């Protein structure tokens, strides 16, 4: 769970800046809790390019500058609908 100033305490997503800015569609979504990692209760919202990155590439500091933590409500606003309906994985 994360604390959003607009939506309160809600589930969160790690999203690439391409998704956050609204410039990348389609969006590949993994809802919170579906990652298979028990310690992490965050979903993923990535554009096609960022989704194709390997785990090694994702650990690069330059890549970390291209991701943001956003809540489910903010992601729904960016996508224009409920985030769960865009699930592609």
Q: Give 87's pLDDT tier (boundaries 50, 70, 90).
A: very low
Summarize pLDDT for 49-67 with one digit per residue, the tens: 888 887 677 677 777 788 8
Q: In sequence order, what DSSP letters do the residues of the chain get, joined into one string?
A: -EEETTTEEE-EEEEEHHHHTT---SEEEE-TT-SS-TT--EEEEEEHHHHT--HHHHTSHHHHTTEEEEEHHHHHHHHTS-GGGG---
State yes or no: cis peptide before 26, omega within 30 of 0. yes
Q: Identify the pLDDT of residue 86.
A: 39
Domain boundaries, the chain: 2-86
Q: How far apart, in whole angstroms, are the C-alpha atoms of residue 8 and residue 16?
A: 21
Summarize pLDDT for 24-52 with one digit per residue, the tens: 778 888 888 765 555 567 888 999 888 88
């Amino acid at each position: 769970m994360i604390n959003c100033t607009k939506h309160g305490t809600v589930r969160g997503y790690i999203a690439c800046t391409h998704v956050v800015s609204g410039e990348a569609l389609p969006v590949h979504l993994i809802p919170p809790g579906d990652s298979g990692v028990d310690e992490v209760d965050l979903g993923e919202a990535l554009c096609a390019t960022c989704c194709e990155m390997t785990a090694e590439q994702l650990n690069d500091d330059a890549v970390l500058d291209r991701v943001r933590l956003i809540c489910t409500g903010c992601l729904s606003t960016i996508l224009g609908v409920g985030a769960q309906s865009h699930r592609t994985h």
